[in-house]
Chain A
Amino acid sequence: MKKYIDTGKKDTRSGFGVGLLKAGQANPNVVALTADLKGSLKMDAFAAEFPERFIQCGIAEANMVGAASGLAITGKVPFIGSFAEFVTGRVYDQIRQEVAYGCTNVKIASSHAGITLGEDGATHQTMEDIALMRALPGMVVLNPCDFNQTMQATLAAAKYNGPVYLRFGRPSVPNFTPEDEEFVIGKAIVMNPGTDVTLIATGHTVWESLQAAEALEAEGISAEVLDIATIKPLDEKSILDSLRKTGCAVVAEEHNHAGGLGEAVAGVLARELPRPLVFVNGEDKFGQSGTPAALMAAYGLDASHIAEAARKAIARK
Chain B
Amino acid sequence: MKTNDQLKAISTQVRRDILRMVCMAKSGHPGGSMGSTDILTTLYFNEMNHDPATWTRDGNGQDMFILSAGHMTPVYYSVLARAGYFPAAELGTFRQMGTRLQGHPSVRRQLPGVFQASGSLGQGLSAAAGLALGKKLDKDPNLVYCLCGDGESEEGQIWEAGMFAVHHKLDNLIGMTDWNGQQIDGPVASVAGEGDLAAKWEAWGWNVIVADGHDFDSIQQAFALAKAGKGSGKPAMILFKTEMGHGVDFMAGTHKWHGSVPKPEQLEDALNQLGTTPLGDF
Contacts from A to B (Cβ < 8 Å): 31, 52-53, 55-58, 60, 62-76, 78, 93-94, 96-98, 101-104
Q: Which residue in A55, A73, A76 is a CB contact (below 8 Å) of B116?
A: A73
Q: Which residue in B117, B127, B135, B164 is a CB contact (below 8 Å) of A58?
A: B164
| A97 / chain B contacts, CB cutoff of 8 Å | 117-120, 123
| B138 / chain A contacts, CB cutoff of 8 Å | 74-75
B134 touching A62 by the CB < 8 A rule? no
Complex alpha-carbon distance, A93 and B157, angstroms: 12
| B134 / chain A contacts, CB cutoff of 8 Å | 70-71, 73-76
Kindly supply a per-residue 1/0 record for chain B positions 148-169, scoring 1 wherever the CB is within 8 Å of any chain A CB and 0 otherwise: 0000000011001101100110
Quick check: is B133 within 8 A (CB to CB) of the other chain? yes
Instruction: Across the interface, name the chain B residue whose C-beta is closest to A100.
Output: B117
Chain-A contact segment, one of B14-22, B54-62, B187-195, B219-227: B54-62
B133 touching A67 by the CB < 8 A rule? yes
| B133 / chain A contacts, CB cutoff of 8 Å | 55, 67, 70-71
Which of A57, A70, A72, A75 counts the most chain B CB atoms within 10 A?
A70
| A53 / chain B contacts, CB cutoff of 8 Å | 137
Minimum distance in angstroms from A309 CB to a CB of chain B: 41
A66 touching B135 by the CB < 8 A rule? no
Minimum distance in angstroms from B126 CB to a CB of chain A: 3
CB within 8 Å for A69 and B118 given contacts A74-B60, A103-B107: no
Contacts from B to A (Cβ < 8 Å): 57-60, 66, 106-108, 115-120, 122-135, 137-138, 140, 156-157, 160-161, 163-164, 167-168
Q: Which residue in A67, A72, A73, A96 is a CB contact (below 8 Å) of B164?
A: A67
CB within 8 Å for A63 and B60 given contacts A70-B133, A93-B120: no
Instruction: Across the interface, name the chain B residue whose C-beta is closest to A75.
Output: B58
Minimum distance in angstroms from A3 CB to a CB of chain B: 47
Minimum distance in angstroms from A89 CB to a CB of chain B: 16
Which of B115, B122, B137, B168 counts the most chain A CB atoms within 10 A?
B137
Complex alpha-carbon distance, A62 and B123, angstroms: 8
CB within 8 Å for A101 and B106 given contacts A31-B137, A58-B164, A73-B116: yes
| B66 / chain A contacts, CB cutoff of 8 Å | 70
A65 touching B126 by the CB < 8 A rule? yes
Minimum distance in angstroms from A115 CB to a CB of chain B: 29
Q: Which residue in B106, B118, B119, B161 is a CB contact (below 8 Å) of A63?
A: B161
| A70 / chain B contacts, CB cutoff of 8 Å | 66, 116, 126-134
Complex alpha-carbon distance, A116 and B122, angstroms: 34
B126 touching A58 by the CB < 8 A rule? no
Q: Which residue in B108, B115, B140, B164 is a CB contact (below 8 Å) of A60?
A: B164
A67 touching B126 by the CB < 8 A rule? yes
CB within 8 Å for A62 and B137 given contacts A55-B168, A73-B57: no
Q: Other CB < 8 Å A-B pairs besides A63-B126, A101-B117, A102-B107, 12 of them?
A: A62-B123, A67-B126, A67-B133, A70-B127, A70-B128, A72-B130, A74-B131, A74-B134, A96-B120, A97-B117, A98-B116, A98-B117
Per CB-CB distance, the 3 closest pairs between chain A and chain B, nearest first, are A70-B130, A66-B126, A74-B134
Complex alpha-carbon distance, A60 and B161, angstroms: 9
A58 touching B156 by the CB < 8 A rule? no
A60 touching B131 by the CB < 8 A rule? no
CB within 8 Å for A103 and B164 given contacts A66-B126, A74-B135, A97-B117: no
| B107 / chain A contacts, CB cutoff of 8 Å | 102-103
Complex alpha-carbon distance, A78 and B59, angstroms: 17
A60 touching B163 by the CB < 8 A rule? yes
CB within 8 Å for A101 and B60 given contacts A31-B137, A53-B137: no
| B60 / chain A contacts, CB cutoff of 8 Å | 74-75
Complex alpha-carbon distance, A52 and B140, angstroms: 15
Minimum distance in angstroms from B167 CB to a CB of chain A: 7
